[in-house]
C-alpha cells in the first residue's frame, strides 16, 4: 500500500535508524561471513597466538642459556677512602723543633699538606716564641686559636689549637696542646697580641683558663651566664636556663604556641621521611581523639 501512496516527485523515504544493540543482535544477512570464512579467521588467530608463544619460548630459552643468567651481579665498587693523616716526624720543621725542645714536641702528623704538631702544655709559649722569631720562616701571624672537646678522653678532654702562618715563607703549621678543665694554659698574648680575644672566646665557650691573660672574661655571652656552650655535653639547640628565666620576658601562651608551630614546621621540612611518617601518624591520632570524645 505504501507504493500506492508514493508521489512521483516526492523524495525517497529514509529507512528508520536502528540502534547499535539492534545491529549486534541481528546483523544484516550480508554481514555474516559464511562458515568457511569463519573457520579461516579462527585459524589465522590461532596461528598468530602460536607465533607469539614461540617467540616467548625463544626469549626464555635465550635468557636461560646466556652465561650471565643466574650469576649474581658483581658488588658495587666502594668509593676509595679519603686521605688519611700520615706521620710527619721527618718534616724539617718538626725535626728542628724536636732538636730544640726535645720531649716537649709530641706526635706530628700531616694531612693533605697540613702539618699538625702536638706540643706539651708547659712549653707552649716557648715554642710559639721560637716559631715567631725564627729567622728563616717566622710564623708571624696567629691565624686562629680555638679549642676542640673530646669527651671520651678522660685525662685531657680539650685540645687548644693554634693555627700559625708565616707570611714571608707562605707556610702554615698547627700546634695542639692537650689540657683539661682544671689546668690553666699559658697565654700567648705576649707573643701575638691578637691572641687576646681568641683566648677570651675559648674561655667563654669552653671554659679553659689562660694564665697571664691581661683581661680574661667572657667575650660573647653575658658575664653571669652559667656553663660553656661549645662543650659536647651542651645540646646544639637552645634550652631555657636560669639566665633566660631571669633576664628574658616570659613568653605568652600565644607566643609559645607560635614557637611550637615554628618548631613543628622545622621538623616537617628537615626531618627524615620515616620520622615524618611517624609524626603524621601521631598527629593524626591526636586530631581524631577530641572528635571521638
Partner 1 sequence: MTPKEIATHYDAKVFDSPEAAKVAGFVITETHEPRNVWNKASAANAIVLKLVNKRASGEADEIGLIIEAWRVTGCYKPHPSEEPAA
**Interface contacts to partner 1, rule CB under 8 A:** 151, 232-237, 239, 263, 266-267, 270-272, 275, 278-279, 282
Minimal distance in Å, beta carbon 133 to partner 1? 41
Q: Residue 212 in contact with residue 188, Cβ under 8 Å?
A: no
Minimal distance in Å, beta carbon 241 to partner 1? 12
Minimal distance in Å, beta carbon 225 to partner 1? 17
Whose Cβ is closer to partner 1: residue 25's or residue 272's?
272
Whose Cβ is closer to partner 1: residue 35's or residue 270's?
270
Whose Cβ is closer to partner 1: residue 4's or residue 237's?
237
User: How many Å separate Cα 233 from the centre of its chain?
Assistant: 22
| Dihedral (Cα; 214, 215, 216, 218), 10-degree rounding | -160
Minimal distance in Å, beta carbon 256 to partner 1? 13
Minimal distance in Å, beta carbon 245 to partner 1? 16
Whose Cβ is closer to partner 1: residue 11's or residue 285's?
285
Whose Cβ is closer to partner 1: residue 197's or residue 225's?
225
Amino acid at each position: 500500500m505504501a507504493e500506492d501512496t508514493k508521489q512521483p516527485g516526492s523524495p525517497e523515504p529514509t529507512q528508520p535508524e536502528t540502534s547499535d544493540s539492534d545491529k549486534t543482535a541481528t546483523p544484516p544477512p550480508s554481514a555474516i561471513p559464511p562458515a568457511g570464512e569463519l573457520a579461516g579467521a579462527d585459524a589465522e588467530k590461532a596461528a598468530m597466538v602460536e607465533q607469539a608463544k614461540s617467540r616467548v619460548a625463544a626469549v626464555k630459552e635465550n635468557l636461560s642459556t646466556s652465561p650471565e643468567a643466574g650469576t649474581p651481579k658483581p658488588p658495587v665498587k666502594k668509593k676509595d677512602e679519603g686521605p688519611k693523616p700520615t706521620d710527619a716526624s721527618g718534616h724539617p720543621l718538626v725535626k728542628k723543633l724536636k732538636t730544640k725542645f726535645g720531649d716537649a714536641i709530641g706526635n706530628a702528623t700531616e694531612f693533605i699538606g697540613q702539618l699538625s704538631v702536638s706540643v706539651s702544655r708547659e712549653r707552649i709559649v716557648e715554642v710559639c716564641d721560637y716559631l715567631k722569631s725564627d729567622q728563616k720562616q717566622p710564623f708571624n701571624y696567629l691565624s686562629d686559636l680555638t679549642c676542640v672537646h673530646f669527651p671520651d678522653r678522660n685525662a685531657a678532654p680539650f685540645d687548644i689549637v693554634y693555627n700559625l702562618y708565616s707570611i714571608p715563607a707562605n707556610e702554615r703549621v698547627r700546634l695542639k696542646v692537650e689540657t683539661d678543665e682544671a689546668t690553666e694554659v699559658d697565654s700567648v698574648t705576649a707573643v701575638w697580641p691578637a691572641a687576646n680575644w681568641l683566648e677570651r672566646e675559648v674561655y667563654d665557650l669552653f671554659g679553659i683558663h689562660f694564665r697571664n691573660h691581661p683581661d680574661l672574661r667572657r667575650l660573647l655571652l653575658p658575664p653571669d651566664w652559667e656553663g660553656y656552650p661549645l662543650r659536647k655535653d651542651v645540646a646544639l639547640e637552645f634550652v631555657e636556663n636560669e639566665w633566660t628565666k631571669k633576664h628574658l620576658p616570659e613568653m605568652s601562651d600565644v607566643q609559645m604556641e607560635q614557637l611550637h608551630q615554628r618548631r613543628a614546621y622545622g621538623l616537617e621540612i628537615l626531618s627524615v621521611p620515616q620520622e615524618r611518617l611517624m609524626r603524621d601518624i601521631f598527629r593524626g591520632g591526636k586530631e581524631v581523639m577530641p572528635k571521638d570524645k
